[in-house]
A and B are shown apart, each in its own frame.
Chain A
Amino acid sequence: MTVAPHVPSRRDWLLTEQPASRRQARLGQAYRTWLAFRGNPLAMVGLGIIVALILVAVFADLIAPYNPIVGGDLRTERLLPPSAAHLMGTDDQARDIFSRLVHGSRLTLMVVALVAVIATPIGVFVGTTAGYFGGWVDTVLMRVTDVFLAFPRLILALAFVAALGPGIENAIIAIAITSWPPYARLARAETLTIRDSDFIAAIRLQGASSARIIWGHVVPLCTSSVIVRVTFDMAGIILTAAGLGFIGLGAQPPQPEWGAMIAAGRRYLIDQWWVATMPGLAIFVVSLGFNFLGDGLRDVLDPKARK
C-alpha cells in the first residue's frame, strides 16, 4: 500500500499547533473562531442577513428599479398593491416601496455603524478605566454612567434630538450618547474580574504603565463580551432610530428611513396594509439577523457562556 505524500493544505497551515510567525498564529486563531462560529446554523443565518443588508446598501443604485425620492404619476400610481411592476407596491406619493426599502438600508446601516463606532469605544474606555483604577476614579465615572442609565433610552434620545434639532445625524448622535452606559457597566464588571488576576500582576511587575496594561491586556479581554452585547443591542438601536423617525424627530422626509416609512403608512394600514408592513418586515428581519449573529458570537467569543 502506498501512502500519498501529505501536501500541507491551507487548512493545515492555519490549524497547526506550531505557528511559525505572528501572522500565522493570529490567522490560525481567527480561523478556529470561524470554525466554531460556522458550526452554529442560526448564527450563519444571522450573518447571511447582515451580509445581505450590506450588499443591498452598497449596490442600492443597481438593485432599486425606481427612484426612491421622486414618485410616479400621482393620479395612477398611488398606493398600488404589490405586483410584478412594483414588488412591494407603492406608497401615497406613488413611490416604489421596494426601491425605498433598498435605499433605506443605507440609512439603517449608517445608524448601526456610527452608533457602534461612537458608543463602543466610549463605553469600553470609561468602563475599563473605572474598573482598573477603582477608588474615586471609579466613583466619578460610574456615577456619570448612572445618570445616563437613569433615563429610558428613547426619552433621553428624544431630549437630545429636541435640543439639537431633528434630523438623521442628530438622531445618530443622540442614540450613541444614550447607548454607551451599559457597555461601560459591562466593561467595568469584566475589568474587575481581570484586574486582580496573576497575568495582570505579572505585567505590572515588568514595569508596564497603566495605559499599557489597560489597552494591551484588559481591553482585549473585555471587548469580546462588549461586542456581543453591542450586536444584541443593534436591534434595539434600529428600533430607536425607527422610533425617532416614526415620531418625526429622526430622518426627515423624503428620506426613505424605515421608521418614517411606517409612520407614513400607518394612515393606510387598514386598506393598503403593505405600505406600513413592508418596512416593518425589513426592520424585523434585520433585527432578527443581529440577534442571531449576537447569539453565535457569544458562543464563540464569550468563554463564560461556553459549555
Chain B
Amino acid sequence: MTPLIDIRDLDVRFTAGASQVHAVRGLSLTVAEGESFGLVGESGSGKSTVLRAICGLAPTWDGTILIGGRALPPRRGPEFFRQVQMVFQDPYASLHPRHTVDRVLSEPLAIHGFSDRETRVERALEEVGLGRGFRFRYPHQLSGGQRQRVAIARALILEPRVLLLDEPTSALDASIQAEVLNLLDRLRTERGLTYIMVSHDLAVVAHMCDRLLVMQHGQGVEELTRAALRARAATSPYTQALLEASRGYTAA
C-alpha cells in the first residue's frame, strides 16, 4: 500500500540576514492513511519547518514530498489546500484580530466556491464543541482554548484528509490541553483523518501518535512506535535524555 504522505530527503534552508540556516537536513518519513505521526524535538530541531515545507510556507526546499503518491508541485494549488490543512501553535496569533468567527470560517468556503456556507459554518462550530452562540464573536471575546477550537474548525471546514498540527496545545493550560487533545482524538476517529503532530512534549505525542520521529539539529535521530516509547526502548542517547527529562526533576 502506498503511504498517504511520503517525504524523501527533505532539505530546507533559510537565509536569516547574512547567514544561512540549514533547518532540515535529509529528512525522510512516511505516514499511512489514517495514521497519527509525531515529530518530537527541542526548539531549533527543524520539526515545525517540516510542516511548513509540506504546506508550502517554507521558502525553498529540496527533495520529494508525495501526497497520495503524487509529487507536490512547487506552488500549491487549491486541490492541495482541500487535502492538507494546518493548526498553529499560538491561538492568539493565528486568528485575525478584526474578523469574527463567522468570517474566519466562511472565507475558506467562499474561496473554494461552496454554496451551503450557512449550514457548514454552523456544523463546524458544533463539531468543535462551540455552539452557535460563538459564531459572531471576535477573537478577543474568546479564551485561548476556544480560539484553538476555532482554529481547528477552520482547518477542518474544507474537509481535508491530512491535518498538520504544530504544537497545538503548548500555549494552553493543562486542563484546556486535555480538552483540545480529546477533541483532536475524536475528530480523527470520526473522520478518518491523518495527523502529523509536532511537539516538544513526549507525553503528549505518546498520547496522540501511533509512531513518532525524534529530531535533533534538522535530522531524524530515531523512529519509534508508541509501544517502544512506553517500553523505554529508545536506542539513541538523545531520545533517552528526552525520556529522562520528561519524568520531571530527579536529584542527581
Contacts and interface: CB of A to CB of B under 8 A. Distances in A.
Q: Do A and B come from one complex?
A: yes
Interface of A: 17-22, 24-25, 29, 197-199, 201-208, 212, 216-217, 220-221, 303
A25 B111 contact: no
B182 to A, nearest CB: 23
Nearest to B101: A25
A197 B70 CA distance: 30
B12 interface: no
Contacts of B247: none
B31 interface: no
Given A18-B137, A24-B136, A25-B136, A206 B81 contact: yes
A198 B138 contact: no
Interface in B133-186: 133-134, 136-138, 141, 151, 154, 158
B100 interface: yes
Contacts of A203: 96, 107
A100 to B, nearest CB: 44
B158 A206 contact: yes
B90 A25 contact: no
A199 B93 contact: yes
B95 A199 contact: yes
B93 A197 contact: yes
B136 A202 contact: no
A227 B120 CA distance: 36
Contacts of B111: 206-208, 212
Contacts of B154: 202, 206
Contact of A198 (B85, B88, B134, B137): B88
Nearest to A207: B81
Q: 5 tightest CB-CB pairs across the interface, nearest first?
A: A198-B94, A25-B136, A206-B108, A207-B81, A19-B136
B177 to A, nearest CB: 19
Contacts of A198: 88-90, 93-94
Chain A contact surface mostly:
helix
9 contacts: A17-B137, A17-B141, A20-B136, A198-B88, A202-B154, A203-B107, A207-B108, A208-B111, A217-B99
B78 interface: yes
Interface string B66-99: 0000000000011001100110111001111111
B222 interface: no
Given A205-B56, A207-B111, 5 more contacts: A19-B137, A22-B100, A198-B88, A205-B81, A208-B111
A201 B138 CA distance: 19
Contacts of A25: 100, 102, 136-138
B contact residues, range: 20 to 34
A64 to B, nearest CB: 43
Nearest to B93: A198
A168 B81 CA distance: 53
Contact of A202 (B82, B88, B138, B158): B88
Contacts of A205: 55-57, 81, 85-86
B112 interface: yes
A154 to B, nearest CB: 36
A17 B146 CA distance: 14
Contacts of A199: 93-97
Contacts of A220: 98
A30 to B, nearest CB: 12
A303 B97 CA distance: 11
A201 B155 CA distance: 12
A22 B121 CA distance: 13
A256 B95 CA distance: 51
A18 B133 CA distance: 6
Contacts of B77: 207
A190 to B, nearest CB: 13
Contacts of B56: 204-205
A21 B136 CA distance: 6
Nearest to B157: A206
A216 B108 CA distance: 13
Given A25-B136, A25-B137, A198-B88, A204 B107 contact: no
B114 to A, nearest CB: 12
A221 B97 CA distance: 8
Contacts of A204: 56-57
Contacts of B95: 199, 202
B7 to A, nearest CB: 18
A116 B17 CA distance: 37
Contacts of B90: 198
A201 B154 CA distance: 13
Contacts of B112: 206-207
Most B CB contacts (10 A, CB to CB) among A21, A199, A201, A205 go to A205
B208 to A, nearest CB: 21
A221 B96 CA distance: 9
A205 B55 CA distance: 7
B88 A221 contact: no
A22 B141 CA distance: 15
Contacts of A202: 86, 88, 94-95, 151, 154
